[in-house]
Amino acid sequence: MTDAANPSWPTVELDPVRRLKVIASATKHPTFAERHFGAAFDELWSVASDLEHELPHLVPGLRSFTITSSEGDRLSGRAVGALGRREHFDVVLRPGWCLMQSKILTSGMAAMPDGDGSRFAFFSSLRLPGGRALDRVRRTRSAQRHEELLDRLGQRVEIRSVPDDAE
């Protein structure tokens, strides 16, 4: 095997949003959405990365998300759906980066400063046998669902950015 640090090989650094897009495109049956927000990166990411308190506001059908263990940027969590279904997730959570995987779903979020605001992306992908058939059904509303998720994220950022004394 040759040395991976061979200087003649081209290299590229991907920002978090582009990296998430690459991961999404490498999964089976992905849905992906991206948007520019006028909010500063720290404001936007403080909402998006607050999995226990904000994720249930952002993702339709998610009743709760509870962090069950944490070791550095590696977390475990339990999601409970609106109908009571429970799912265990392995999570990697870093500034501007969140990748989550359960037995049936892979999803992720990425954010980065972008001009006068921030760029944010979200993706999800089913990991089930027969995913292609489910994906056809899911895709009929996936673009609309993702746009609604991004709308809710913008609303949650606005709510949390209001100073306490202004309420």
pLDDT, position 77: 97
Tell me whether residue 6 is in a domain.
no
Range of the domain at 27: 16-161
Tell me whether residue 5 is in a domain.
no
pLDDT, position 151: 96
Distance from the first to the final alpha carbon of the chain: 63
**Predicted confidence (pLDDT) at residue 164 exceeds the cutoff of 70:** no
Tell me whether residue 31 is in a domain.
yes
For 74-130, how does the pLDDT look when each residue is reduced to its tens digit (9 = 90+)?
Answer: 999 999 999 999 999 999 999 999 999 999 899 999 999 999 999 999 999 888 776
pLDDT, position 100: 97
The sign of the dihedral angle between the CA atoms of 86, 72, 50, 142 is: negative
Tell me whether residue 167 is in a domain.
no
Crossing angle of the two packed helices 131-161 and 41-48, in degrees rounded to 10: 120
pLDDT, position 110: 98
The residue written with tokens 């059904």 in the block is 137
Domain count for the chain:
1
Tell me whether residue 126 is in a domain.
yes
- If one compares 69 and 136, the residue with the highest pLDDT of the two is 69
Model pTM score: 0.86
| Predicted confidence band of residue 136 (pLDDT cuts 50, 70, 90) | low
For 40-79, how does the pLDDT look when each residue is reduced to its tens digit (9 = 90+)?
Answer: 999 999 999 999 999 999 998 899 999 999 999 999 999 9
Cα–Cα distances (Å) from 127 to 52, 104, 107, in that order, read 23, 5, 10
Supply the CATH number for residue 60's domain: 3.30.530.20
pLDDT, position 139: 64
Tell me whether residue 59 is in a domain.
yes
pLDDT, position 140: 66
pLDDT, position 1: 43
Tell me whether residue 10 is in a domain.
no
pLDDT, position 9: 83
Tell me whether residue 52 is in a domain.
yes
